[in-house]
Amino acid sequence: MRPLQLIRPTDLTSGKMYLIQEKRPEYAYLKYKGTFVKNKYPEDAFGCTMTHFTNLIEHGNRPYIDLHLQDCYWNYYEADAVERAYIDHVLRKITGDPSFFHDVQT
């Protein structure tokens, strides 16, 4: 299984889904999955970038419409598991091998 790929807030792509997790250990249970909308960058050197996500699902399957997060407290990861599963499914059909697994190295 491929590990999650950490993404910097400046590299987030609008319209793409990401996994979101709190950085601080005491709040590590806070996990979301949502679609990135845009960043609001700080006006001075001491501010945090505010990331805006929509269509969020909390770890316990509770939905949120919008969430604005400070990048200094959150990690963002690529949420491409569905895409990878679809690619594996298609490649299994093409190759005829039901156990085929395509491991993408990045």
What are the structural domains, with CATH classification, of the chain? Answer: 6-95 (2.30.30.100)
Pick the closest to residue 58 from 87, 22, 85, 91 (CA basis).
22
Mean pLDDT of 9-15: 92
Contact by Cβ (8 Å): 32, 59: yes
Q: pTM above the 0.75 mark?
A: no
What single-letter amino acid sits at 101? F
Which positions ≥6 away from 51 have C-beta within 8 Å? Answer: 9, 12, 36, 39, 68, 69, 70, 71, 74, 76
- Answer yes or no: is pLDDT of 1 > 60: no
